[in-house]
Every structure is written in structure tokens, then in C-alpha cells.
Amino acid sequence: MRPDSLLKDGDEVAGLRVIHIPGHTPGSIALYDGTLLFSGDTLNVREGRVQGPPPQYTADMRQAIASVRKLLSLKFDVLLPGHGDPVVGRASEKALQDLATYLRASAAGLGRRQRGPEPEGPREVRVDYESLHASPAEARVVAHHKEDQGYEA
């Protein structure tokens, strides 16, 4: 199957900036518009808390932790995670608070498991738009956000 387009860090799709966040998978991306963050599987909401990717399902924890930190450097009001319910309102603050312990524990665990060198430079990400979908809750949050921001359908 051929992708509709190749995306790389900094590209824009439908008003959303592409952010390359490897770790969970080598080609993971997030989409961000300044207030809304689609985090993919790099951030999840489990048991009401924002969490990083589980190590048992993560290709490279060192990169995943760096990607979590990269996402936490952003300000966003709405978080649409790869798994779990959306976080609406001051989402970046909640993520910072919830992930402090995760980052400490993950960094400590990395001292025991060394990985190879990190790849240099941006990577291209292949996207098949026909296979992308959002949960009904995510679709409602995005539609409301786009309406508030004045995006055309």
C-alpha cells in the first residue's frame, strides 16, 4: 500500500504541525496546533492519569522518554491521547503533573538497559489517511475545537 503523502517533523497537515516523536515506534508522530495535541501512543490516559507508553510495547524507551519530554515542552489545552479519554482544559499542566513520576522511574530503569545510538536528523513518516480514524469522543472534541478556532471544514 502506498501512502498518500510523506510527513516529516515540522510539516503541516490541516492546520496541525507534525512533530516526530520516535520511541513507541520509530515513525511515531504527534499533531499540534498551539492548543490541541494529538499525541499518538506516546501519551495515554489510564486510570484517569496521563502516562507515557508502556515499556513492554515500546520499541526504544530512551527515545520514548525524550519524545515524552518533547511533548511536555508544549503548551496545550486539549490532549487527544492514543488510548484513553481526552483531557480538556489545562491539559499540558495535568500531563506535566501526572508524568513526573513516570519520567523519573523510566529514566532510572534505562540505567539498567542500554540501547544503541539514537538516529540523527528528522525521519519521514508514511501516512495512509484512509486508515486514520478517531474515536467518537475524539471526533467531537476536535470538531468543537476547530469550530472555536474558526477552521473551515
pLDDT (tens digit per residue) in 46-59? 999 999 998 888 99
**pLDDT for residue 96 is more than 90:** yes
Identify whether the C-beta of residue 74 lies closer than 8 Å to the C-beta of residue 32. yes
pLDDT at 110: 59
Of 7-16, 95-104, 117-126, highest mean pLDDT? 7-16
Q: Hunting for cell 489545552 — which residue is that? A: 77
Domain 5-149, classified CATH 3.40.50.300, yes or no = no
Single-letter code of the amino acid located at 102: Y
Distance CA(70)–CA(91), nearest Å, equals 15
Whether residue 103 has pLDDT greater than 90? no
Per-residue pLDDT, averaged over 76-87, amounts to: 96
> Locate cell 540505567: which residue?
111
pTM: 0.70
Distance CA 1, CA 17 (A): 25
Buried b (16+ CB within 10 A) or exposed e, 89-113: eebbebbeebbeebeeebeeeeeee
Residue 149: what pLDDT? 54
